[in-house]
Amino acid sequence: MTIKTYCLDVRGDFACFTRPEMKVERVSYDVITPSAARAIFDAILWKPAIRWQVTRIEVLAPIRWINLRRNELGGVISARNVKTAMKQGRGNLGVYVEDDRQQRAGLFLRDVHYRLHARFELLDKREGPEKYAEMFQRRARRGQCFNQPYLGCRE
């Protein structure tokens, strides 16, 4: 049996595939990462019985950069505070943006355009691939998704 490869044309105004070695300021990789590409396929069709494998990434637009400043929160609510509030049935779990706001610079991609190729692997061998192939094609044609696809950073 031939394994079918699916292709998506993906574009956006901005993208940021954050490099892990940049701790504070967000700096994007030059191109979409394979895990981010896989997440786009997962956003359209995610089932426990399949796993997407990205086979090819084509860059269709020149790589362009933009420097942006963003407001981010400096901290998060601690798990210990959440557990205490759950035990006691009350607690202050609010985040006061004005007190914890930090302005950070980022180097983002702009006007991105990719063609992503992927195929899925069946993890549950009891079912045939036809069912999932039809589901993916139908959902992709209609623009349906389980969660909103994004290009790196969700915001």
**pLDDT tens digits, residue range 121-149?**
999 888 888 999 999 999 999 999 988 88
Q: Which two tokens stand for residue 104?
A: 């950070």
Q: Which domain holds residue 115?
A: 6-73+104-142
Which is higher by pLDDT, 152 or 75? Answer: 152
Tell me if 61 is assigned to some domain: yes
* Whole-angstrom distance, CA of residue 43 vs CA of residue 35: 12
Split into its structural domains, the chain has a count of 1
pLDDT at 50 over 80: yes
Mean pLDDT of all residues in 51-78: 90
Tell me if 57 is assigned to some domain: yes
Q: What is the CA radius of gyration of the chain?
A: 20
Tell me if 147 is assigned to some domain: no
Tell me if 93 is assigned to some domain: no
Burial 41-70 (b: 16+ CB within 10 A, else e): bbbbbebeebebebeebeeeeeeeeeeeee
* Whole-angstrom distance, CA of residue 152 vs CA of residue 133: 26
Three-state DSSP at 16 gives strand
pLDDT at 2 over 70: no
pLDDT of residue 85: 84
Tens digits of per-residue pLDDT, 92-118? 777 777 777 788 889 999 999 999 999
Q: What is the pTM of this model?
A: 0.80
Q: Which two tokens stand for residue 96?
A: 């006061």
Tell me if 43 is assigned to some domain: yes
pLDDT of residue 135: 94
- Where do runs of H (alpha helix) occur along 57-129? 79-88, 97-100
Mean residue pLDDT of the chain comes to 89
For residue 16, what is the domain's CATH number?
A: 3.30.70.2660
pLDDT of residue 93: 76
Tell me if 96 is assigned to some domain: no
Instruction: Please give the share of the chain, as a percent, with pLDDT higher than 90.
Output: 57
Q: Which two tokens stand for residue 154?
A: 């969700």
